[in-house]
Amino acid sequence: MGITKVHCRSLWLCNFRAKFYIFLWVLGGLVLTSCKETPSIDEEHFEKILLDIQLAEALVQTYPVDSHDIYRDVFMEDILRQHKVTREEYNAAYEYYSENHKAFQRMQERLKKKVYDAEKIEDLNLAY
pLDDT tens, residue order, the chain (128 aa)? 555 555 555 555 556 566 666 666 666 665 555 556 788 888 899 999 998 988 888 888 888 888 888 888 999 999 999 999 999 999 999 999 888 888 888 888 988 888 788 777 766 555 54
Q: What is the predicted pLDDT for the residue at 100? A: 84
Position 77 scores a pLDDT of 95
Domain boundaries, the chain: 1-35, 43-127
CA 50 to chain centre: 12
Please name the amino acid found at residue 81. Answer: R
Q: Per the confidence metrics, is the pTM higher than 0.75?
A: no
Given this model, what pLDDT does residue 33 score?
52
Q: Compute the C-alpha angle 90/76/43, nearest 5°.
A: 35
Contact between 58 and 115 (Cβ < 8 Å): yes
pLDDT attached to residue 26: 67
Q: How far apart are CA 31 and CA 1, in angstroms?
A: 45
5 alpha-carbon distance from chain centroid: 54
Please report which residue ranges of 41-100 form alpha helices under DSSP H. Answer: 43-60, 68-82, 87-99
